[in-house]
Copies of this chain bind each other. A is one copy, B any other.
């Protein structure tokens, strides 16, 4: 079973179980964003978490192996088209240089890791329209001189 088939199996099971990512996250004791990314095939799970996840969603154990396998991460479009994802791309385009300057002023020459990295989504209710709160947390890696 490859990551694509795994993803279809898991998303179908999730729909059948009528569980949200929050529900599943709680059940396997991981963050909902990470759980979703693992089900989408963009992260690998430990044997233990994979087993718990399959158990929670009631899928057969061969899905476990697919969850544990190391993914090859790829995306279809260099410039994303779906408006939800494009807006994130636009933020990187518009604010990329700004963020580099603000972060490097605070931390020195280096980058925010996208590997040693976590992310959360929250909902802020607001009578003028609810707001999405997206929190990214990445280790700062200074460039090495040698």
Contact = CB atoms under 8 A, between A and B. Distances in A.
A92 interface: yes
B134 A136 contact: yes
A67 to B, nearest CB: 11
Interface residues of A, number: 89
Number of copies: 10
A113 B146 CA distance: 15
Given A78-B79, A107-B132, A100 B73 contact: no
Given A90-B83, A90-B86, A98-B40, A107 B123 contact: yes
Contact of A118 (B20, B38, B96, B146): B146
A139 interface: yes
A36 interface: yes
A42 interface: yes
A99 B31 CA distance: 13
